[in-house]
Amino acid sequence: MTFKGIRLKLVAVALILCLGIFFAGNYYFNHYRLNNSLEEVLSSVEEIEKVVIKNEAQPREIVLTLKGVDDLRPVYRKVNDILVEKLGPEDYAITLNESTDPILKEAYDKIHLVIYETIITGEFSKLATQLELLKEEAELSSARISVDHDNIYLELSTEQEHLYKVIEREIKVDWSSLPGGGANG
């Protein structure tokens, strides 16, 4: 089909092809530029050994391998501030690399229930006492917990390995999925 000597099918195909190339190029340019920039900025944080961005769709999963950290809270908050600035407040999830040390895993298994109980009861002084007992029992070189408005930061260490956990203080419950309701529930 022609219109005033111009083949419309050829123009439509060329237009679709150009738009496809433009949008694909724009996506890849922005995607790689953002990920490389993000990895570069996060790697510049002294306590971070390695950064891996796993999920390319939203939300991105940012996996961090930390060096021996003296205090996890300021490091985590610094990383969080960088990510909020670059990605927005809810466009990512931070994962700290897991330790493979069985002593640290067992120690975490023992203390994590106490942490969640503390979130509900608010009795943080009992958590500190339980953590000190766990440190002695498991013969850890250090066991530290710190708290801010949003999170609980747990650091467990042996002579060779470190385990870092950040636990949100707000427990998210989907109340709509629970049975019951009404006065007699």
How many Å apart are CA 76 and CA 38, to the nearest integer?
15
CATH of 16-97, one of 3.40.80.10, 3.20.20.70, 3.30.300.30, 3.40.50.300: 3.30.300.30
Which stretches in the chain have pLDDT values below 50?
Answer: 184-185
* Domain extents in the chain: 16-97, 98-172
- Condensed to tens digits (0 to 9), the pLDDT of residues 74-109 reads 999 999 999 998 888 877 889 998 888 999 999 999
Q: What is the pLDDT of residue 24?
A: 80
Cβ atoms 72, 164 nearer than 8 A? yes
Q: What DSSP element (H or E) covers 72?
A: helix 72-87
Q: Can you give the pLDDT at residue 13?
A: 83
Contact 107, 143 (CB under 8 A): yes
pLDDT cut 70: percent of the chain above it: 84
- Single pTM value for the model: 0.74
pLDDT at 185: 46
